[in-house]
Amino acid sequence: DSLFFSNPLTQLNMARGAAVKKSERPSSFSVDFHIPVNDQVLKNDNLDEFTQFLQQNIKFKGKRNNIKGVYDVVRSGANVTVKTINGSSISKKYIKFLVKKFLNKNDMRELFRIVSSKKDTYELRYFRIDQAEEESE
């Protein structure tokens, strides 16, 4: 029996007996709020509200508020981390989408942008106002 693979390199590797590796997603993603917290734009109440927002709005199998035993949302200091449990996965883009949704809800989207600082971490930074003014002139 010959297996059909659309990628010729995969066919070649399978013929050689090499294992095909899947790219693994990190098991947790975190959002770092240290810049707005240090400037006292966001307070601890806002971070608690954000963790509640994530717990209520992360969808699993198409349903909200369905993350018990699948995802764990933990706040430690100015970081909020979403950990996966039991080998489930969540995309980093989905976390970014939820952060933007939270910022829009609280009218802070014009102040901050979400930047990927590491492979598994997002960070909130201020928009550069001086750069935007130079472009508009």
Cα–Cα distance, 56 to 28 (Å, whole number): 18
The two beta strands, 71-76 and 79-84, are antiparallel
The values of phi and psi at residue 118, to 5°, are -140, 180
What is the residue-level pLDDT of the chain in tens, covering all 137 positions? 455 556 666 665 555 655 545 556 668 899 999 999 998 888 888 899 999 999 999 888 888 887 888 888 999 989 999 988 877 788 889 999 999 999 999 888 888 989 999 898 999 998 876 655 556 55
Q: What are the φ/ψ torsions at residue 117 (nearest 5 degrees)?
A: -95, -30
Specify whether the CB–CB gap between 116 and 25 falls below 8 A: no
Q: Which helix (H) or strand (E) holds 67?
A: none
| Full-model pTM | 0.72
